[in-house]
Amino acid sequence: MKFYFILAWRNIWRNKRRTLITTASVFFGVLLSAFMSSMQEGSYDQYIRAIVNSYSGHIQIHRKGYWNDKIINNSFLNDGNIDSLLHRFPEVTIYSPRFETFCLASSEDVTKGVMILGIEPLAEDKITNISVKLYQGEYLKKGDNGVILGSRLAQFMKIGPGDTLVLIGQGYHGSGAAGKYPVRGIIKHPSPELDRTLVCMELQHCQELFSAPDLLTSMVIMVNDNEKTLPIKMALTESLGDDLEVIDWMQMNQLLLKQIDSDRAQGVITKGILYMIIAFGILGTVIMMVAERTKEFGVILAVGMKKRKLITIIILETIFMGMTGVITGVAASIPLLYYFLYNPIPFTGQAAEMMLQMGFEPAMYFSMAPSVFYEQALTIFIFTLVIGIYPIFNIRKLQIMKALRS
């Protein structure tokens, strides 16, 4: 078998120009498809990070039914058992309790429905970096009885740091909830919806306002690796009681995942066209190679070589040409993508403004996921195996005397 490999490798370099043209087409095809795949996967990772770090976290614990019916009565008691359970998992980097509900906010003659988010300031800041989004006033401190608002909400309410916001709503089990709170700061939240409706309060004061001491609507959990999300979720589900449910970021952001799947499908079509061009390039080379060497095949068969051995050599030649282009393409794409991994392409102008409005950083990020590289090699390898069918049929039908006269 070693003889076949050596002979096939020498044969493809007998016509260097033809081999170089073929491997070059594969090389640039692999380079472009790897670049496009890396750009796609990097963008998806950026979207997921933005969603996870802006609000949802990797995992949330709720009372069963809360995610489909977000009412204040679907809250659960924070008795410390969840905290002790989360400390058992080294993969959990931070967790933050929340009390979330809705009420009316009023300032002078302006009234608007808002989302109230009771938080522990330090823990919440480690998850969502909310203090970084602050552009007026100051961030909440533990025990602070003030509030911070989204910038669009503050603009609508015509208030700023130092002003007073009146909150009126319904508390736990139908009790009344009303209070006046000083505005500590204004944030520019990356989510336009939250920026228009969000009011953050210190958790204890929020629970007191809605007559829900020690109650939570959710526990937000971050893990050190996104791949650990599902194992942690399954372990928590087994450990917690039937009254609580554990939901991961994929369940909470199904619309985003559908958009990613749709965009990935479009990318498959584009790469498919690119691969078809590469495949026809290799096929053209194989057809020319077989046609030019018909007499050579006739002589080889006439001196006693069996057709199956000749077919094996020709298939190896086809695979060598394809894989030479694949290996060089992958080798060239690794340093290129490594550079863009740490130097993302920035957007400017309207594109940057549009991404900022959607809550994403105005830059094109890249990924070095292994699938970016091995998918190209596997696809080209399959194409070359399929193309190798042509010389098999050609040689099997070859007549020695006719080939010698060609």
The token pair that represents 80 in the structure block: 């410390």
Note whether residue 248 is domain-resident. Answer: no
- Answer yes or no: are the C-beta atoms of 222 and 92 closer than 8 Å: yes
Q: Are strands 164-170 and 176-187 parallel, antiparallel or unpaired?
A: antiparallel
For 1, half-sphere exposure in the C-beta direction (CA atoms, 13 angstrom radius) is 0
pLDDT at 217: 93
pLDDT at 116: 94
Q: Rounded to an integer, what distance in angstroms lies between the CA atom of residue 270 and that of residue 404?
A: 44
38 and 130 in a single domain? The answer is no
Note whether residue 286 is domain-resident. Answer: yes
Note whether residue 356 is domain-resident. Answer: yes
pLDDT at 357: 62
For 262, half-sphere exposure in the C-beta direction (CA atoms, 13 angstrom radius) is 6
Note whether residue 250 is domain-resident. Answer: no
Q: Which range of residues forms the domain containing residue 90?
A: 65-241
pLDDT, tens digit, 9 for 90 and up, residues 359-373: 667 778 888 888 888
Mean pLDDT of the chain: 85
292 and 230 in a single domain? The answer is no
SS3 labels along the chain: CHHHHHHHHHHHCCCHHHHHHHHHHHHHHHHHHHHHHHHHHHHHHHHHHHHHHHHHCCEEEEECCCCCCCCCCCCEECCCHHHHHHCCCCCEEEEEEEEEEEEEEEECCEEEEEEEEEECHHHHHHHHCHHHHEEEECCCCCCCCCEEEEHHHHHHHCCCCCCEEEEEEECHHHCEEEEEEEEEEEECCCCHHHHHHEEEEEHHHHHHHCCCCCEECEEEEEECCHHHHHHHHHHHHHHCCCCEEEEEHHHHCHHHHHHHHHHHHHHHHHHHHHHHHHHHHHHHHHHHHHHHCHHHHHHHHHCCCCHHHHHHHHHHHHHHHHHHHHHHHHHHHHHHHHHHHHCCEECCHHHHHHHHHCCCCCEECCCCCCHHHHHHHHHHHHHHHHHCHHHHHHHHCCCHHHHHHC
End-of-domain residue from the set 189, 213, 241: 241
Q: What percent of the chain has pLDDT over 90?
A: 23
291 and 265 in a single domain? The answer is yes
Q: Which of 147-151, 231-235, 292-296 has the lowest mean pLDDT?
A: 292-296
Spatial CA neighbour of 336 closest among 345, 325, 323, 346: 345
Spatial CA neighbour of 12 closest among 306, 288, 378, 330: 288
pLDDT, tens digit, 9 for 90 and up, residues 180-219: 999 999 998 877 788 899 999 999 999 999 999 889 999 9
86 and 166 in a single domain? The answer is yes
Note whether residue 301 is domain-resident. Answer: yes
235 and 274 in a single domain? The answer is no
Q: Rounded to an integer, what distance in angstroms lies between the CA atom of residue 253 and that of residue 52?
A: 9
299 and 206 in a single domain? The answer is no
48 and 140 in a single domain? The answer is no
Q: Rounded to an integer, what distance in angstroms lies between the CA atom of residue 64 and that of residue 55?
A: 20
Q: Rounded to an integer, what distance in angstroms lies between the CA atom of residue 174 and that of residue 59?
A: 29
Q: Rounded to an integer, what distance in angstroms lies between the CA atom of residue 361 and that of residue 171?
A: 38
107 and 8 in a single domain? The answer is no
Q: Rounded to an integer, what distance in angstroms lies between the CA atom of residue 206 and that of residue 190?
A: 23
Is the pLDDT assigned to residue 256 strictly greater than 80? no
166 or 3: which leads in pLDDT? 166
Q: Rounded to an integer, what distance in angstroms lies between the CA atom of residue 289 and that of residue 283?
A: 10
Is the pLDDT assigned to residue 165 strictly greater than 90? yes
Q: Rounded to an integer, what distance in angstroms lies between the CA atom of residue 356 and that of residue 351?
A: 9
Count of domains forming the chain: 2
pLDDT at 80: 78
pLDDT at 103: 92
Instruction: Pick the most confident of 198-207, 340-349, 374-383.
Output: 198-207
Note whether residue 179 is domain-resident. Answer: yes
73 and 206 in a single domain? The answer is yes
Q: Calculate mean pLDDT across residues 334-354.
A: 82
Residue 102 dihedral angles phi and psi, to the nearest 5°: -130, 150
157 and 90 in a single domain? The answer is yes
Q: Which residue has the tokens 């096939």?
A: 8
- Whether the model pTM is above 0.85: no
Q: Rounded to an integer, what distance in angstroms lies between the CA atom of residue 313 and that of residue 396?
A: 14
pLDDT, tens digit, 9 for 90 and up, residues 112-133: 999 999 999 999 988 888 888 8
96 and 169 in a single domain? The answer is yes
CA angle at residue 153 from 147 to 159, to 5 degrees? 65
If one counts every other C-beta atom within 10 angstroms of the C-beta of residue 198, the result is: 23
